[in-house]
């Protein structure tokens, strides 16, 4: 036994490097009495390479194994009065794994411990070879994300299948590097998996630069998420907001939306015929994700209003009509209520979101800044729901990862915050996604504010520096007992450092992440005051451009033109009232109408961003007015 142990230990070229002995073993913990200063072993601990610190990996030789343990606490129970006098130095260890010695001198790594150390066993700092055997994973799905703190020459690897399959979380106080870590981990994964399917919800529009060519960037300007994909609850959130006060309107919608759906399904155009064929006898519920026209819905509302005897009952109908009409004209909602034509575009939307075909862009970055705040939760809800359903109905052939930044916004602990359907959708991925290949990455600076049932489903956790006590407690409660001590120094972690634990890493480990290349840094959301306060900016042109952007956010002339034509389309007005001049849009429109007539699909062209900026503002305003007049005449 000694010879194999010595072979493992002496691979660095020296003999016995033990620095203490076991004096207590309880469960998966052990206590070592270190050969401290003034002790029999003299000054050995002063050799800095062997000086243990939090997170150092120790090795303890047993008959056929080397037990690996992590230092989780260091203390001197009775300090000497004077420096240099003998005192006891103690290290607490978590027993985390073992190397099983083989006859040929090599060793196999196991998580967990089968043979426990006994009292008096000598303890040494793990050798380089042992560190390599423990951390270097030869599994084919492993990718590098950094090095281990104890020995920078040893790579910190993550096991992609375990990491994604069982969900993971990246936690840390603002500014500690969560976004950089997210970008780094995803980039490492993408380097090895060119046909991945990752959907990243990017609330601060910061990730586009991190993925360059790999990223399909979807912003409110080029997004399409038609209203008919929304469940009833989601639609109510968009249209009505607080359901308590407007029950009558909700009841009306609940009754009339299925009518509008079946009117479309039994109705006009070739696309509709396709749909009708597919579901001739289907009865639509308010939640069935099939298209319907706003114009049909408005029409059935009108018909109902005509039949009402008591004119006092008209007011919820009127309120609904006004809301529907105004939201259809609101450029901020054009991505949802402004399809040029209503046709069954669900396959294209799924294809674009989840990268099928991947078209060399394995990650979709969904920029949420610019969406009206009141609708962000609904959009996130739809996407989370679609992620799960897509994975489910693709029968595991297209595993999808959903990266949820600022997750505490969408799945808050407090039941009265957040949007219930959104919470349900994320919880569903967390609880059942594993079976179908839908996985979740949770990124948050407030672990204490996130629903604990979601966090507890994240098997792998990267804990960056964390200063808040409550947050630390939550993370500690998530980690198995053995590594818990590691988290005691969460508040003292350095830049780019994290404690990683769970199945995505071989052992709980203190990682030093690799540095992201400058071009791949997420665009930081922190303002650069001193840099920007060095010289004066701000001639009139500059201010004008600010004012323009400000106004455009609520109603740009070009957007108005576009949404006007969209609206015209949805209520069956002749579209040439507001024919957009930009060629990309026209081509886009032709493609769609061709497609709705059953012709070949050109995904690439369909994905082109409609460029509508060239529209002359005066004409667009006139066009909108003309259309409003036409509408009134109807
Ligand atoms: N892996 C890394 N590579 C390079 N810089 C990093 C890395 N991790 C953190 N940083 C530094 O930390 C800063 C803050 O990171 P960021 O990801 O924006 O933090 P958070 O998202 O937690 O607020 C970055 O500006 C960067 O300088
Ligand atoms: Mg961030």
Note the pLDDT tens digit of each residue in 3-59.
444 444 444 444 567 889 999 999 888 999 988 654 444 444 444 456 788 888 999
Output the pLDDT for position 529. Answer: 83
Across the range 342-369, mean pLDDT stands at 91
pLDDT classification of 482: cutoffs 50, 70, 90 = low
Output the pLDDT for position 480. Answer: 62
436 within ligand 1 shell (Cβ under 6 A): no
Across the range 467-473, mean pLDDT stands at 88
**Contact present, 51 and 68 (Cβ < 8 Å):** no
Specify the residue with its C-alpha closest to ligand 1, atom 16.
177
Across the range 289-313, mean pLDDT stands at 86
Output the pLDDT for position 593. Answer: 36
Percent of the chain with pLDDT over 90: 41
Q: Which fold has domain 2-135?
A: Thrombin, subunit H (2.40.10)
Q: What's the gap in Å between 497 CA and the centre of ligand 1?
A: 10
Single pTM value for the model: 0.79
Output the pLDDT for position 554. Answer: 55
- Residue 153 Rama label (left phi>0; alpha psi -120 to 50; beta): alpha
Output the pLDDT for position 402. Answer: 97
Average pLDDT, whole number, for the chain? Answer: 79
- Find tokens 């950089």 and name the residue: 180
Output the pLDDT for position 308. Answer: 81
Q: What's the gap in Å between 210 CA and the centre of ligand 2?
A: 13
513 within ligand 1 shell (Cβ under 6 A): yes
pLDDT classification of 276: cutoffs 50, 70, 90 = very low
Output the pLDDT for position 591. Answer: 35
Output the pLDDT for position 84. Answer: 74
462 within ligand 1 shell (Cβ under 6 A): no
| C-alpha dihedral sign at 567, 569, 571, 573 | positive
Output the pLDDT for position 404. Answer: 96
Q: Which of 156, 170, 177, 408 to mutate to test the pocket of ligand 1 (most atoms within 8 A of CB)?
A: 177
565 within ligand 1 shell (Cβ under 6 A): no
175 within ligand 1 shell (Cβ under 6 A): yes
pLDDT at residue 603 greater than cutoff 90:
no
pLDDT at residue 472 greater than cutoff 70:
yes
The CA dihedral of 327, 333, 338, 343, to the nearest 10 degrees, is -110
- Give the C-alpha separation, 463 to 443, whole Å: 10
- Give the C-alpha separation, 152 to 161, whole Å: 25
Q: What's the gap in Å between 209 CA and the centre of ligand 1?
A: 14
Both tokens assigned to 107: 């060793």
Output the pLDDT for position 18. Answer: 85
- Mark out the alpha helices in 241-340 (DSSP H runs): 247-265, 269-278, 294-307, 314-329, 334-337
Q: What's the gap in Å between 535 CA and the centre of ligand 2?
A: 28
Output the pLDDT for position 553. Answer: 61
Q: Among 122-136, 285-299, 393-407, 558-572, whose mean pLDDT is lowest?
A: 558-572
**Contact present, 453 and 489 (Cβ < 8 Å):** no
Residue 351 backbone dihedrals phi, psi, to 5 degrees = -60, -40
Across the range 531-539, mean pLDDT stands at 82
Q: Which fold has domain 157-224+345-506?
A: Rossmann fold (3.40.50)
Output the pLDDT for position 115. Answer: 92
User: Which-ligand-closest: CA of 210?
Assistant: 1
444 within ligand 1 shell (Cβ under 6 A): no
- Give the C-alpha separation, 351 to 364, whole Å: 11
DSSP state of 123: E
Output the pLDDT for position 526. Answer: 63
171 within ligand 1 shell (Cβ under 6 A): no
Residue 123 backbone dihedrals phi, psi, to 5 degrees = -120, 140
**Contact present, 577 and 621 (Cβ < 8 Å):** no
Give 476 or 6, the one with higher predicted confidence: 476
Give 403 or 133, the one with higher predicted confidence: 403
Give 146 or 278, the one with higher predicted confidence: 146
**Contact present, 499 and 189 (Cβ < 8 Å):** no
Give 587 or 275, the one with higher predicted confidence: 275
- Find tokens 């696309």 and name the residue: 271
CA distances from 551 to 609, 613, 618 (A): 22, 14, 16
Give 402 or 137, the one with higher predicted confidence: 402
Interacting residues of 199 by C-beta distance below 8 A, sequence separation 6+: 353, 354, 363, 364, 366, 383, 387, 400, 401, 402, 403
| Atom from ligand 1 closest to the CA of residue 524 | 18
179 within ligand 1 shell (Cβ under 6 A): yes
Across the range 612-619, mean pLDDT stands at 36
Residue intervals of the chain classified under CATH 3.40.50.300 are: 157-224+345-506
Percent of the chain with pLDDT over 70: 77
Specify the residue with its C-alpha closest to ligand 1, atom 8.
177
Q: What's the gap in Å between 145 CA and the centre of ligand 1?
A: 14
Q: Among 95-99, 174-178, 539-543, whose mean pLDDT is lowest?
A: 539-543
| C-alpha dihedral sign at 566, 568, 572, 577 | negative
Give 266 or 612, the one with higher predicted confidence: 266
pLDDT at residue 272 greater than cutoff 80:
no
- Give the C-alpha separation, 66 to 132, whole Å: 14
- Give the C-alpha separation, 634 to 632, whole Å: 5
pLDDT at residue 575 greater than cutoff 50:
no
Across the range 98-113, mean pLDDT stands at 86
**Contact present, 92 and 73 (Cβ < 8 Å):** yes
pLDDT at residue 384 greater than cutoff 90:
yes
Give 382 or 605, the one with higher predicted confidence: 382
pLDDT classification of 372: cutoffs 50, 70, 90 = confident
**Beta strand pairing call for 400-404 and 438-444:** parallel
pLDDT classification of 117: cutoffs 50, 70, 90 = very high
Interacting residues of 346 by C-beta distance below 8 A, sequence separation 6+: 229, 289
pLDDT at residue 555 greater than cutoff 50:
no
- Give the C-alpha separation, 53 to 235, whole Å: 55
pLDDT at residue 511 greater than cutoff 90:
yes
Element (H, E) at 182: helix 178-192
Residue intervals of the chain classified under CATH 2.40.10.170 are: 2-135
- Mark out the alpha helices in 394-419 (DSSP H runs): 407-410
| Atom from ligand 1 closest to the CA of residue 206 | 18
Output the pLDDT for position 51. Answer: 72
Three-state helix/strand/coil letters over 129-174: HHHHHHHCCCCCCEEEEEEECCEEEEEEEEEHHHHHHCCEEEECCC
| Atom from ligand 1 closest to the CA of residue 181 | 1
- Give the C-alpha separation, 123 to 33, whole Å: 9
pLDDT classification of 572: cutoffs 50, 70, 90 = very low
pLDDT classification of 289: cutoffs 50, 70, 90 = confident
Output the pLDDT for position 267. Answer: 66
416-459 per-position pLDDT tens digit: 888 899 999 999 999 999 999 999 999 999 999 999 899 999 99
Specify the residue with its C-alpha closest to ligand 1, atom 23.
175
Q: Which of 180, 200, 524 to mutate to test the pocket of ligand 1 (most atoms within 8 A of CB)?
A: 180
Residue 246 backbone dihedrals phi, psi, to 5 degrees = -130, 50
Q: What's the gap in Å between 520 CA and the centre of ligand 2?
A: 14
Across the range 88-103, mean pLDDT stands at 89
Output the pLDDT for position 621. Answer: 44
User: Which-ligand-closest: CA of 145?
Assistant: 1
Count of C-beta atoms within a 10 Å radius of residue 180: 21
DSSP state of 487: G
């Amino acid at each position: 036994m000694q010879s194999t142990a010595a072979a493992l230990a002496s691979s660095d070229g020296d003999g016995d490097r033990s620095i203490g002995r076991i004096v207590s073993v309880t469960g998966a913990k052990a206590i070592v009495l270190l050969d401290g200063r003034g002790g029999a072993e003299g000054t050995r601990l002063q050799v800095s390479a062997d000086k243990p610190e939090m997170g150092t990996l120790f090795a303890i030789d047993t008959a056929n194994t080397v037990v690996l343990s992590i230092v989780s606490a260091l203390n001197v129970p009775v300090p000497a009065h004077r420096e240099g006098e003998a005192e006891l130095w103690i290290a607490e260890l978590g027993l985390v794994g073992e190397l099983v010695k083989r006859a040929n001198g090599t060793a196999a790594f196991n998580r967990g411990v089968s043979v426990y150390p006994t009292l008096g066993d000598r303890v040494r700092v793990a050798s380089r070879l042992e560190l390599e055997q423990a951390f270097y994973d030869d599994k084919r799905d492993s990718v590098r994300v950094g090095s281990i703190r104890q020995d920078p020459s040893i790579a910190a690897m993550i096991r992609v299948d375990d990491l994604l399959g069982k969900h993971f979380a990246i936690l840390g106080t603002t500014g500690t590097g969560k976004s950089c870590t997210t970008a780094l981990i995803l980039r490492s994964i993408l380097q090895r998996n060119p046909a991945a399917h990752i959907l990243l919800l990017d609330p601060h529009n910061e990730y586009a630069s991190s993925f360059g060519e790999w990223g399909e960037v979807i912003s409110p300007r080029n997004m399409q998420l038609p209203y008919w994909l929304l469940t009833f609850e989601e639609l109510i959130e968009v249209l009505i907001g607080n359901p308590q006060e407007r029950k009558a309107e909700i009841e009306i919608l609940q009754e009339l939306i299925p009518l509008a759906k079946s009117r479309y399904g039994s109705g006009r155009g070739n696309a509709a015929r396709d749909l009708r064929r597919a579901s001739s006898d289907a009865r639509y519920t308010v939640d069935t994700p099939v298209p319907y026209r706003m114009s049909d819905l408005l029409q059935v509302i009108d018909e109902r209003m005509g039949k009402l005897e008591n004119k006092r009952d008209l007011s919820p109908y009127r309120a609904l009509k006004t809301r529907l009409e105004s939201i259809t004209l609101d450029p901020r909602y054009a991505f949802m209520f402004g399809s040029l034509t209503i046709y069954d575009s669900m396959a294209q939307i799924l294809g674009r979101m989840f990268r099928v075909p991947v078209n060399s862009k394995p990650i979709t970055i969904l920029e949420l800044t610019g969406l009206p705040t009141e609708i962000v939760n609904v959009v996130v809800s739809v996407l989370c729901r679609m992620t799960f359903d897509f994975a489910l109905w693709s029968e595991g052939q297209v595993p999808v990862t959903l990266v949820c930044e600022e997750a505490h916004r969408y799945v808050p602990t407090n039941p009265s915050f957040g949007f219930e359907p959104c919470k349900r959708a994320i919880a569903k991925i967390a609880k059942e996604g594993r079976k179908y290949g839908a996985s979740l990455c949770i990124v948050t600076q407030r672990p204490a504010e996130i629903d604990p049932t979601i966090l507890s489903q994240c098997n792998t956790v990267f804990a960056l520096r964390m200063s808040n006590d409550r947050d630390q407690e939550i993370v500690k409660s998530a980690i198995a007992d053995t590594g818990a001590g590691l988290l005691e120094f969460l508040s003292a972690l350095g830049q780019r450092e994290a404690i990683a634990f769970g199945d995505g890493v071989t052992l709980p480990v203190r990682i030093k992440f690799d540095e992201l290349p400058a071009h791949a840094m997420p665009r930081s959301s922190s303002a650069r005051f001193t840099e920007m306060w060095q010289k004066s900016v701000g001639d009139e042109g500059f201010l004008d451009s600010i004012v323009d952007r400000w106004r455009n956010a609520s109603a740009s002339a070009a957007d108005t033109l576009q949404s006007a034509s969209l609206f015209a389309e949805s209520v069956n007005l002749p579209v040439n009232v507001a024919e957009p001049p930009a060629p990309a849009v026209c081509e886009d429109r032709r493609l769609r109408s061709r497609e709705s007539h059953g012709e070949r699909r050109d995904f690439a062209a369909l994905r082109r961003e409609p460029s509508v900026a060239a529209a002359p503002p005066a004409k667009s305003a006139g066009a909108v007015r003309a259309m409003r007049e036409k509408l009134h005449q109807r």
